[in-house]
Amino acid sequence: MLKGALIGCGFFAQNQMHGWQAVEGARIVAVCDRDAERREATARRFGIGRGHDDAARMMAEEDLDFVDIATTVGSHRPLVEAAAEAGLHAICQKPFAEAMQDARAMVAAMDRAGKTLMVHENFRWQSPVRATIRALREGAVGRPFFARVSFRSGHDVFSGQPYLATDPRFIIQDLGIHILDIARALFGEVTGLAASTARINPAIRGEDVATMLLDHASGVTTVVDCSYATRRQPDTFPQTLIEIDGDAGTLRLDAGYRLVIQRDGREEVREVAPPVLPWAERPWHNIQESVQIIQQHFVDCLREGRPPETSGRDNLGTLALVEAAYASARDGNRIALP
């Protein structure tokens, strides 16, 4: 049984703690937060006997195999480097870093330590998204040439995550990062990107709308569009909707978790709704299930000695798209990616 510690006992960490309770092969033995109230509430809620206010000290004092970093982006690099220093595997929440140089430094530190680093990039692990990836790989539409990967909502994300209203960067770094990662999971690496952004909500600092055009090396063109300014009912938060055109048919992951495949004049509809886990609540259940799935993937990878699908190194590809999107929106250029 692998022993882990949670760092950061805030809003989203509660999902991670629930997820760990159901994961086979690992358990959380200690929690850490600088904020005593959050730390103690989380420890009490999940029956964890050991609480710490200093992550490096916790890593030195506890008998651990890994840490699960659930803090906001500013602390990711020092915490991942401390894990490398302590010889521990690590999971780090998204956004992995705000700058590529920090992300590369974290990957290098964990490589030097010979430990596994996974970014908690869970959206590609949502079961409806997984069903879409599987259908595509099974050749449901033949050779794909066009896709739209879309997330549009008016859901109030600011009450649970107030920093999203005050950070200078909002939707691309917070949410678009997941949608760009899904595009990579579907069609592979991107050779060029153009983006435009807008701020519709006057009460926030960053952009709440982003529209991105991606050219993939595989020949597919993808439109990735994200909005937290979309007033529609029913609101589809937190569903990612997907359309793919291929030379043999089309596929849609529609609102309501319906996967529709049309080919040779026939239509097949697959119901791919995620389960509502016993601890989960609508509409977050889709995200919550993917937390447990990615955590199990991490443990399975450690046991089998293989890199996680969303390793730190893999995530450099997604972060490069985030960086390119901000640069393109700022300068009005199409950015070529190496």
**From 206, 238, 246, 274, residue interacting with ligand 89Y (rule: CB under 6 A):** 238
> 243 with 251: CB under 8 angstroms?
yes
Residue list 271-330, contact with ligand 89Y (CB under 6 A): 287
**Is residue 174 at the binding interface for ligand 89Y, with CB under 6 A as the rule?**
yes
Q: Which is nearer to ligand NAD, 161 or 221 (CB)?
A: 161
Structure tokens at 125: 């692990």
Q: Which is nearer to ligand 89Y, 59 or 180 (CB)?
A: 180
Contacting range for ligand 89Y; rule: CB under 6 A; set: 15-23, 170-178, 205-213, 266-274: 170-178
- DSSP annotation of 269: E
- DSSP annotation of 125: G
> 84 with 113: CB under 8 angstroms?
yes
> 135 with 191: CB under 8 angstroms?
no
Residue 326's binding partner, choosing from ligand NAD, ligand 89Y, none, with beta-carbon cut-off 5 to 8 A by kind? none
Nearest approach in angstroms of CB 91 to ligand NAD is: 11
**Is residue 157 at the binding interface for ligand 89Y, with CB under 6 A as the rule?**
yes
**Is residue 225 at the binding interface for ligand 89Y, with CB under 6 A as the rule?**
no
**Is residue 245 at the binding interface for ligand 89Y, with CB under 6 A as the rule?**
no
> 219 with 108: CB under 8 angstroms?
no
**Is residue 95 at the binding interface for ligand 89Y, with CB under 6 A as the rule?**
no
Nearest approach in angstroms of CB 120 to ligand NAD is: 5
Binding positions for ligand NAD, rule: CB under 6 A: 7-13, 32-35, 38, 55, 70-73, 75, 79, 93-94, 120, 122, 161, 174, 287
Q: Which is nearer to ligand 89Y, 82 or 157 (CB)?
A: 157
Angle, alpha carbons 133-134-140 (nearest 5°): 95
- Give residues with Cβ within 8 angstroms of 202, minimum separation 6: none
Nearest approach in angstroms of CB 66 to ligand NAD is: 16
- Give residues with Cβ within 8 angstroms of 34, minimum separation 6: 53, 54
**Is residue 207 at the binding interface for ligand 89Y, with CB under 6 A as the rule?**
no
Q: Tell me the backbone φ, ψ of residue 114, rounded to 5 degrees.
A: 70, 30
Residue 13's binding partner, choosing from ligand NAD, ligand 89Y, none, with beta-carbon cut-off 5 to 8 A by kind? ligand NAD
Query: Minimal CA–CA distance to 210: which of 189, 195, 194, 232?
Result: 195
| C-alpha distances out from residue 192 to 100, 171, 219, Å | 17, 20, 11
Q: Which is nearer to ligand NAD, 220 or 228 (CB)?
A: 228
**Is residue 68 at the binding interface for ligand 89Y, with CB under 6 A as the rule?**
no
> 214 with 183: CB under 8 angstroms?
yes
Structure tokens at 215: 């050219």
**Residue in this structure with the two tokens 């989960």, named with its chain if needed:** 280
**Is residue 175 at the binding interface for ligand 89Y, with CB under 6 A as the rule?**
yes
Contact footprint for ligand 89Y (CB under 6 A): 157, 161, 174-175, 178, 238, 287
